[in-house]
Amino acid sequence: MATARASLWLVVSLLTVPGAVVPVARAAEYPLRPIRVIVPFPAGGNADLLARIMAQKMSEAWKQTVVVDNRAGAAGIIGAEAVARAAPDGHTLLMGTTGTLTTNPAVYSKLPYDSLRDFAPVSNFADSPFLLVAHPSLPVRTVKEVIALAKARPGQLHYASFGPGSSAHLVGEMLRSTARIEIVHVAYKGGPPALADLIGGHIEMMFNLLPIVVPHVKSGRLRAIAVTASKRAPALPEVPTFAEAGIPDFEAGSWYGVLAPAGTPKEIIAKLSSEISRILSLADVRQRLAAEGAEPIGNTPEQFAEQIRRDLARWAKIARDARVRVQ
């Protein structure tokens, strides 16, 4: 009898302890209201495009509104901070990028968020490599020719970037140090003005993300030199990788991953991660990403967290070696 009473007491206790049953209930009922996906960049860019693809599919599956909220400014810092300070209930998410989570900490002396402490990684949605592109007037077609020209004209070739300390800046520094050439960095206030000046012939070359520059390469307004990936891009199969061009281990790109505020229940994180994997398995989504030059990933929260930690260390070293620092 005493044993029966003890067992009954244990069951009642578990049912009345909030943490014992609430997480399961949260996951089963989630989402309880519209989800807001904050994109820390203007509408029309890669992060915005991928967030909208995800939001549409998620909304269809869960019969709940999923809104994309563009919070541009300060190299993605404004949008990232908004998510870091949001309620940890899964209804505010971040479409984070390599820049917001790993290169910003490498180059900014102070940030209003900590990439490891303030976010709960959900899944890396997609990756996009960089493409080295040049204005057609520059007499180069290969990486070897770029290096040869830079050595023949030290300090006379310029490359554009999205801004000081941006991933495009750091990849340019990777080329400068790896090839031991003197090329001059020109920082723009964002990708669009840098690309406009490159197309206009006001600057010689730049590293830009594949989906952004593919249309301009195909139209002949830009010349593709090499891609910073381990394999050729399906969108431009004729363009070699840097390894094929003679520079091994020269790989860089931008990932686009979903994160929630730190403290979001693990059951909700797992549900979100599973939904992202489902979305990325859809044929129409995979075709859309391939057309944009992006590769679907869909890793686990643990794998994504490890990827962020690895990239933080990698970009910190690159920024330190190149002495890139932004106040």
Q: Rounded CA gap, 39 and 207, in Å?
A: 22
Which domains are present in the chain?
Answer: 31-127+253-322 (3.40.190.150), 129-227 (3.40.190.10)
pLDDT of residue 293: 81
Q: Rounded CA gap, 96 and 2, in Å?
A: 55
pLDDT of residue 63: 96
Q: In terms of residues, how long is the chain?
A: 327
One digit per residue, pLDDT tens: the chain, 327 residues? 455 454 445 444 544 555 444 455 567 789 999 999 999 998 888 899 999 999 999 999 999 999 999 999 898 999 999 999 999 999 999 999 999 999 999 999 899 999 999 999 999 999 999 999 999 999 999 999 999 999 999 999 999 998 888 999 999 999 999 999 999 999 998 888 999 999 999 999 999 998 889 999 999 999 999 999 999 988 899 999 999 999 999 999 999 999 999 999 999 999 999 999 999 999 999 999 988 788 999 999 999 999 999 999 999 999 999 899 987
Please check whether residue 118 is in contact with residue 262, taking contact to mean a CB–CB distance below 8 angstroms: yes
Token output for 6: 């003890």
Provide the whole-model pTM.
0.85
pLDDT of residue 12: 45
